Amino acid sequence: MFRFDPYSPAIDADPFPFYRTLRDEHPCFWSEEANMWVLSRYDDIVTALNDWETYSSAKGNLMDEMPNRAGNTLGTTDPPRHDRLRGIVQFAFTRKAVEGLVEPVRASANRALDAVQGEKTFDFVNDFSSKVTVDVLFGLFNLPRENERMVRDKAVLMVQSDPRTRQKGPEHLAAFQWMSDYAKSLVELRTREPGDDLITALIQAEVNGEKLAEREVQMTVTTLIMAGIESLSGFLTMFAYNLADHADARRRLAANPALIPDAVEESLRFNTSAQRFRRCLQKDVTLHGQTMRAGDFVCLAYGSGNRDERRFPDADRYDIDRKPKGHLGFGGGVHACLGTAFARLASRVAFEELLKRVPEFERVQEQLPWMPSTTFRSPTRLELAAAWA
Amino acid sequence: MAKITFIEHSGERLVVNIPVGWTVMQGAVQNGVEGIEAECGGSCACATCHCYVDEAFVDALPAPSETEEAMLECTAAERLPNSRLSCQLKVSEALDGLVLRLPEAQS
């Protein structure tokens, strides 16, 4: 009998064959291990994303939710409150607002590359993607330049879960607690010393004449740090992984960097780190012969929708000429990723610099160590053999 | 379903049937309407699904929210009185026959 266990290391390593079976044979599947329904076809996921009244986020959006988070962040609130919160935050993330980050990202990428210049092999995760991401994010949020390494480690740890116990282990919860406390200290700092930054804007913002609760500010900051660090660094790593395995695509990008944005879009479709999020049903829904009940949780498997042949022909092929409009790499609907403009800009600039200095690289490890997570997917180390320009 | 016509800046017309409950943007992207970019995925954060609503329908649409109002100030092409962001337009039977013109540039 077919099973889909998002806690299993096999799914961490390669969920795509399982997704295919889900799409073709069980498009509305009850996963006992996850204790929720799984939607895997592109059209079903898009329909759910466009219907927040039925598919609510208010009970949490991560596959394994963290304590006291649901209801206190953008991703875990429904309209109309969500829209008011988002209206406050999103102006810090428009394309215009992040334009100024081009040169900081470029400089950061070059500093990371300077540190490993000439090395025959380096670990893309520790030596490049996480360094650049943390560096740039600290700039974006104007965070005090201390604890950078610690913040990164905790952000990565808090999104993981224990494959044996099928829930968050003490170390994951401790990481979340650490991040919440860190966010609290940032909020206290910006309350005492307001600045021209997002945290100050959140503290001072009013929704319908009411200030945000301290808990909301703190959880929103926690989530922005987690999403910024984990998701962006995970995506950069998956992009490098794709280019290591697809030498033709990489050589075309190195020869013509103007193609990088198209390759970013295809990587977002092909295997971006944000694989699965969840919703909670507000009423009974019958789909593909199954009846899902009000109160049931539903997993939206974005990573599967992105490989759905019904939407993307030859979906398992990595094709940088595809221009996959409407992909689910950033989710969709009212909760679509807040950081799209920032992520696209940072990815483009980081890879312009990387490919200029390391036009040739290949994967060293045959088997990669995949992060144990029910929501995200990326390797914890990606060793690359590099030929420097 | 509502039948919605998109007129690309080139003059090309595309007629698309969009299910009730979807956004106009989603229907456009699913059906290969070139002139809608929709970079942010439908969260009213990028102003790249800008369209000009046919005068006959302007009053049939709910007024833009505060966020849409603010994002309409960020469009690449000129904002006109009939400018809207298509990710904020929910399809209903009342929109059957809607005609939208697309701007020269979204970004």
Q: What is the ipTM of this complex?
A: 0.88
pLDDT tens by residue, B13-47 = 999 999 998 899 999 999 999 999 999 999 898 99
Residue A3 inside a domain? The answer is no
Burial tier of A118 (Cβ tally within 10 Å: 0-12, 13-18, 19+):
exposed
* pLDDT in the model for residue A269: 98
What is the DSSP annotation of A112-146? HHHHHTT-SEEEIIIIIIHHHHHHHHHHHTT--SS
Contacting residues of B for A341, CB less than 8 Å apart: 39-40, 45-46
Number of structural domains found in chain A: 1
B10 inside 8 A of chain A by CB? no
Alpha helices in B1-107 (DSSP H): 24-30, 55-58, 66-72
Contacts A–B by Cβ distance under 8 A: 77
Strands A277-281 and A297-300: antiparallel
pLDDT tens by residue, A338-348 = 999 999 999 99
β-strand partners of B99? B5
Which helix (H) or strand (E) segment is A183 a member of? helix A170-192
Tell me if B71 sits within 8 A of B78, measured CB to CB. no
C-alpha to C-alpha distance for A169 and B7, rounded to whole angstroms: 54
Instruction: Kindly list the structural domains of chain B, giving each domain's residue range(s) and its CATH number in brackets, ordered by start.
Output: 2-101 (3.10.20.30)
B21 inside 8 A of chain A by CB? yes
Q: What percent of chain A has pLDDT above 70? A: 100
A309 inside 8 A of chain B by CB? no
Which helix (H) or strand (E) segment is A82 a member of? helix A81-89
Residue A207 predicted with pLDDT over 80: no
Q: Is A307 helix (H, G, I), strand (E, B) or coil?
A: coil
B42 inside 8 A of chain A by CB? yes
CA separation (Å) from A274 to A12, A98, A336, B64? 12, 22, 12, 31
Q: Is A257 helix (H, G, I), strand (E, B) or coil?
A: helix
Contacting residues of B for A54, CB less than 8 Å apart: none
Residue A4 inside a domain? The answer is no
* pLDDT in the model for residue A282: 98
> How many CB atoms within 10 Å of residue A35?
11
Return the higher-pLDDT residue of A98 and A26.
A26
pLDDT tens by residue, A266-319 = 999 999 999 999 999 999 999 999 999 999 999 999 999 999 999 999 999 999
Contacting residues of A for B40, CB less than 8 Å apart: 330, 336-337, 340-341
Q: In this structure, what CATH number is given to the domain that contains residue A170?
A: 1.10.630.10
Q: Is A36 helix (H, G, I), strand (E, B) or coil?
A: strand
Domain interval for residue A89: 9-387
